[in-house]
Structure 1
Amino acid sequence: MKHLKLKHFAFLILFSLIFSSCSLTRTAFFDQYSYEKTIELKVATNRLINKAATPYVVHKEEVENLFLDIEKLIEYEKNKPNNDITFAMWKMLTDKEKNLLAGFFKRWEVNGIVSKSFLEEFKKQILEAFDLLIQYEVKKDKESKEALLDLINLNT
């Protein structure tokens, strides 16, 4: 009987150690909502970027709606445990002083229209950033984490 209690106790200790070590990885689990919303925002962003060769004022409401949707996702991401990397990426994308998403829309607003060549170059960069976010959400592996961190560090 004592032998059985000792085995049971040892199993509980081992299980506790494994469970606590997993929680120390500090990476949020896959989240279907985050995945779907990021894809939706990527598609909406791509469609809106394609309109940047026309006057900003015509599309101002669309830009505001896009950023409202992004704000909602940022609030969601901010409150997920162990989600610092994804949250940091979304904050960077929406920083008007950076040359990413918000910076592009700020430039479009200030200039009125954006040249086709700048638009195409920017589109590649921002869609790649979205792809990195999507891949990180899907895989949550070391490689996708490092790719996202590289982009964050490059733009800080």
Structure 2
Amino acid sequence: MRIRKISFMLGIVALVMSSCASLYDHYTYTETISTKVQALSLMNQSDEAYATHEASVIALQNQLQKMLMYEEGKSKNDITIQMWKILNNEEKLIGSYLSLWEEKGTLSRIFINEATPQIEEAFDILIAYEEKKDKKTEAAVIGFINSIKK
């Protein structure tokens, strides 16, 4: 009877420890998806006047910054941090897109259609990495980061 109790307690401790050791972060995963949807939705409206959507642009920029700050607060998270830094950079991807929209006032549908897949890919790679955290998705993120840094 005593051995069963000890075995049961060890099983519970092992279960708790293994669940805590998981690399999967549900908050990051869901917020990354939410940020992607927010970004793509806003991009789809960028053929309209920037001034009309300025509050939404600021909300997206705040969301991007929030995610970067959240990820910087976690340890052993360099790859994800690098990706969020790229997404926050005003000279790359969504950051440069929003700056261009502000500068031009409106963007052409052709430009929107060309830029959308690139930005969508960045989010998709990050979402896949957050979901699986395996070597394949890690390599995809690193490859994407390296291609953007060039």
- TM-score range (shorter-chain normalised) is 0.7 to 0.9
Q: Deviations over 1:74-101 (max 9, x none)?
A: 1110111111001100101111122x01
What does 1:1-156 align with in structure 2 at a 5 Å threshold?
29-98=23-92, 100-156=93-149
Unpaired segments ≥5 residues, structure 2 = 1-20
The letter of the residue matching 2:132 is K
Give the match's secondary structure for 1:155. helix
Q: How far did residue 133 of structure 1 move?
A: 0.4
TM-score by length of 1: 0.80
Contact preservation (8 Å) 2:36, 2:120: yes
Cα distance, 1:127 vs structure 2: 0.7
The alpha carbon displacement at 1:70 in A equals 1.6
The alignment of Structure 1 onto Structure 2 pairs a total of residues equal to 129
- Take 1:143 and 1:117, find their aligned partners in 2: how far apart are those partners? 33
Question: In 1, Cα distance between the equivalents of 2:23 and 2:73?
Answer: 13
- Residue identity in the other structure for 2:57: V
Structure 1: any 5+ residue segments left out of the alignment? 1-22
Larger radius of gyration: 1
How far apart, in 2, do the equivalents of 1:94 and 1:70 lie?
6
Q: Which residue of 2 aligns with 1:17?
A: none
1:95 and 1:38 map into 2 onto residues whose CA distance is: 16
Equivalent pair of 2:64/2:87 in contact (CA under 8 Å): no
What's the CA shift for 1:67? 1.0
TM-score by length of 2: 0.83
Which structure has the highest helix share of the two?
A: 2
* Aligned residues with identical type, % of pairs: 40
How far apart are the structure 1 equivalents of 2:97 and 2:113? 12
Q: Distance in 2 between matches of 1:49 and 1:85?
A: 26
The residue type equivalent to 2:138 in the other structure is: K
